[in-house]
Structure 1
Amino acid sequence: MYQLQINDIDYKTFLAQYWQKKPLLIKKGFANFEDPIDPEELAGLATEECIESRIITNHQDNWEAHHGPFEQFDLLTETNSTLLVQAVDHWHPSAADLIEAFRFIPNWRIDDLMISFSTPGGGVGPHLDQYDVFIIQGQGKRHWRVGLPNANLKQFAQNKSLLQVEQFDAIIDAVLEPGDILYIPPGCPHEGYAVENALNYSVGFRAPDQKDLLSSLADHVIDTESGSKRYADPDLQLRSSIGEVAVSDKQRLKALLNSIIDDEALFSQWLGKTLSEPKHDMDLAPLELPLDLEQLLTEYDEQDIVYRAGGVRAIYQINQNDILLSVNGENFTLASHNIGAVKQLTDGNSFEFGAIISALSSLDFAQAFTKLINDGIYFID
């Protein structure tokens, strides 16, 4: 297990002074760091159809982006090239352990683990991200420059899938060595180039924008056949102009839309579903012969360990009369007294089976947990 040490400050201080405020170089954030994956394994993942990967090259200032899967790696030259593989935590359990060190940030905000391998001079160029990211230096060294947000910086497209930003003033200019970590808030320009063959691990965070949320909410309303309440104006009066949409009309229409968001049950169901949905494919292994509750209780001992599969998104909401557990886009309504067991499912990536046995006497929790086991989202070893 990786233990994160943020220089000489605790998590509370980091959140107050740096989170979404300014970048931070964390020297030896992981002491005695050992790579959980090697470049050959990373390349193996990039050959898979279901795993998103890219190779970026920058020979003589000619930037090119190539999308996987890759059958061969001649594009990954001895210099000025980078292989990037997305959502490695979904497929590589040892690499997924890196994310656990950042679980002081709420589960729903954590996105995935991207890993890159770069040859000397390789990188993706100066760019902006609209989300927080921790970049962990693995083997090798990488030279990083990071600046503060600047609305005057111009962005431009090197090609269809590589957006970069013009040169910027850096407040961090350093060469990272194994175990060093760089925290970069949204909107901070940054660029990193390998000094020697280097592995980097990027823990990214979700930051949905308004249009994404509204689009998702609209889809949920349609899918659940909700939102059937119609506009009404029983107090309509004669007007001097029939062409005007009056202030009172706009207020009624806005209230009609707001009533969807104010529907607590609908909003909670949608929120749990959308915030727990994974964006990438997953390496799940559903049981060939599904278990029922009786088999679950007889085949496993209290000391057996329950594991959450890599990349699984598990969150919960405490409502007035119940708990809404949301796992990979599926909602489970559970009795409030199961909160301890729910926290076992969401707050760690493993726990002893005995920690939830008492909750299995509750039918709703038993049905939910049995389904999660049968679907391969959790497994017992």
Structure 2
Amino acid sequence: MIKFQDIDLATFLKDYWQQKPLVIRNALPNFESPVSPEELAGLSLEDEVESRIVIQKGEQDYQLLKGPFDENTYQTLPEQDWTLLIQGVDRLIPEVTDLLNDFDFLPRWRIDDIMISYATKGGNVGPHFDHYDVFLLQAAGSRQWLLTAQDCLESNYIQGVDLRLMQTFKVEEDYVFEKGDILYLPPKWGHHGIALDDQCMTYSIGYRSYRGQELWDSFGDHLSEMAGFKTLYRDPIWPVGLNPGEITDAAAEQAQALLANILTDKTLLKTWFGRFATQLDSVAAQQLPEPLTEEETPDIEDFMGALQVEPGLIKDPVCRFAFAKVDQNTLLYVNGAIWDSFGATDAFITLLANQSFLTQEQIMLNGDDEGNIKLLFDLWKLQYIVFIE
């Protein structure tokens, strides 16, 4: 886990998370980036990788290039003042995925992805604010971070620029970050990070943001799929001499009461929210592994034999797992679906959702239950979990 130094974890969760920034010096002592700038550039050449280059040309003049790039792109870049950004590196490189274990003091299903940026001296993406929480880990080199809580409004965007940059940026805090330092930022805090050398690399551990409209639409889709909301709307008591064309307050209140009633169903809400929280975005959905073909799939007895000799199983980094206690049952969610648990024990479902991998010892300790093995076999056939190499 990252080291909070001057405060404890409880204080961070109570007083800082989603409320105000925190500078965490030496949060990951002796951190060494498992990815080099050259490897990042290599990833940007691949079609399935989301990549961008931002070049600053003037005080409020930025150029945005979108990948995939080619080797000629890098030969034409200026000496300084540019930044390469690669999205979703945790889905691509296992050593980057492992970094998420240092942030398990927050729910894993809240994490969106890890973006890695490399910048030459002066490189930056402009002053901006985000709608999500983020931990900004300085992985190499040095970066200056300027912060503000003022004017973080969409009306403050510079018009005619591909990037959502702040027109007015009044600096309130100014820090220099070295390797291993972390800056935590809650939503809607203006920040402007400027590379101070040609070795600057920053890891952005970003968390999902949920707009109310997204929740509402998703809940409606869940109700439709489950056919779980067939209660009929009932009229109010109509007055004598009504206006036949008027929608009255009483009529709208009847509709409101009908909707409010479904929102009091805690079982339904919790069942739905597990699906919502583990749903993949469109990019991640395209990165799901190919399932085993019928010819590639052995009998479950052969799978059980492999479990006894292999070091363990690890989840595919694209997949999102979670569990919930619903009406004294433990539901498993995988990639936006309520998963068939095959009668696996509650303790095993919890273990599977909590950890990024299962050791052979953990599997053997739970291997006497037939449902546990059937669940693993089902997930392995889809390659949502694979044997640790």
Give the TM-score of the pair, scaled to structure 2: 0.88
Q: CA deviation at 1:262?
A: 4.0
Shift of residue 59 of structure 1?
1.4
1:261 is aligned to 263
Quick one: which of 297, 304, 317 aligns to 2:311? 304
3-state SS of 1:164 partner:
coil
Residue of structure 2 in register with 1:64 after alignment? 63
Q: Which amino acid aligns with 1:138?
A: A
Aligned to 2:356: 349
- What is the deviation of 1:148? 2.5
Which residue is equivalent to 1:375? Answer: 382
Q: Tell me, which stretches of 5 or more residues in structure 1 are unaligned?
A: none
Candidates 332, 345, 348, aligned match of 2:339 = 332
**Is 1:16 aligned with 2:17?**
no
In the TM superposition, residue 219 of structure 1 has moved relative to its aligned partner by 2.8
2:387 maps to a residue whose letter is I
Q: Deviations over 1:153-198 (max 9, x none)?
A: 9522454541111343434312211111111111111000111121
Is the contact between residue 307 and residue 351 of structure 1 (CA under 8 Å) also seen in structure 2? yes
The one-letter code of the counterpart of 2:195 is A
Residues 343, 371 of structure 2: 8 Å contact kept: no
Aligned to 1:192: 193
SS state of the match for residue 138, structure 1? Answer: strand
1:241 is aligned, of 237, 240, 243, to 243
Query: Do the aligned partners of 1:137 and 1:178 also contact (CA within 8 Å) in 2?
Result: yes
Counterpart for residue 5 of structure 1 = 3
Cα shift at 1:233: 2.9
| Pairs within 5 Å for 1:39-50 | 39-50=37-48
Alignment match, 2:138: 137
Moved segments of 4+, more than 6 Å: none
Structure 1 residue aligned with 2:292, among 274, 287, 290? 287
Change (3 A) 1:149 1:212: farther
Question: RMSD over aligned Cα, in angstroms?
Answer: 2.6
CA distance in structure 2 between the aligned counterparts of 1:364 and 1:262, rounded to whole angstroms: 33
Name the CA distance, whole Å, in 2 between partners of 1:220 and 1:47. Answer: 38
CA drift of 1:336 comes to 9.0
Shift of 1:370: 1.8
1:337 positional shift:
7.7
Q: Which residue of 1 aligns with 2:125?
A: 124
What stretches of structure 2 of length at least 5 have no aligned partner? Answer: none
1:278 Cα deviation after fit = 2.3
CA distance in 1, matches of 2:110, 2:15: 19
Identity within the alignment, %: 32
Q: Which residue of 1 aligns with 2:164?
A: 163
Query: Which of 192, 204, 207 is the equivalent residue of 1:205?
Result: 207
Residue type at the aligned position of 1:85? I
Q: Distance in 2 between matches of 1:260 and 1:354?
A: 44
Q: Is the 8 A contact 2:307 2:363 kept in 1?
A: no
Corresponding residue SS for 1:125: coil
Is 1:323 aligned to 2:330, yes or no? yes
- Residue 368 of structure 1 aligns with an amino acid whose one-letter code is L
Residues 106 and 343 (structure 1), Cα distance of their counterparts in 2 relative to 1, 3 Å cut:
same
Q: What is the deviation of 1:303?
A: 7.1
Provide closer, same or farther for how the CA distance between residues 66 and 147 of structure 1 changes in structure 2, counting only shifts above 3 A. same
How far apart are 1:273 and its partner, in Å?
1.8
Distance 1:100 1:76, change over 3 A: farther
**Change over 3 Å in CA distance of 1:266–1:176 after alignment to 2:** same
Q: Which amino acid aligns with 2:5?
A: N
Contact 2:19–2:186, Cα closer than 8 Å, also in 1: yes
Q: Relative to 1, partners in 2 of residues 1:349 and 1:300: Cα closer, same or farther, differing over 3 Å?
A: same
Separation (CA, whole Å) in 1 of partners of 2:278 and 2:153: 35
1:132 to 1:76, Cα distance in 2 relative to 1, 3 A: farther
Deviates more, 1:265-274 or 1:12-21: 265-274
Q: Say yes or no: does 1:272 pair with 2:270.
A: no
SS in 2 for 1:66: strand
SS of residue in 2 equivalent to 1:135: strand
**Conserved? CA contact 1:323–1:334, under 8 Å:** no
Output the CA distance in 1 between the equivalents of 2:327 and 2:147: 45
Deviations 1:119-178 (A, max 9, x none): 111111100111111001112111111123546795224545411113434343122111
Distance apart, 1:257 and its partner CA: 2.4
In the alignment, is the contact (CA less than 8 A) between 1:25 and 1:172 conserved in 2? no
Specify the alignment match of 1:313 in structure 2: 320
TM-score (structure 1 length as normaliser): 0.90
The more displaced of 287-296 and 270-279 is 287-296
- Report how far residue 216 of structure 1 moved: 1.9
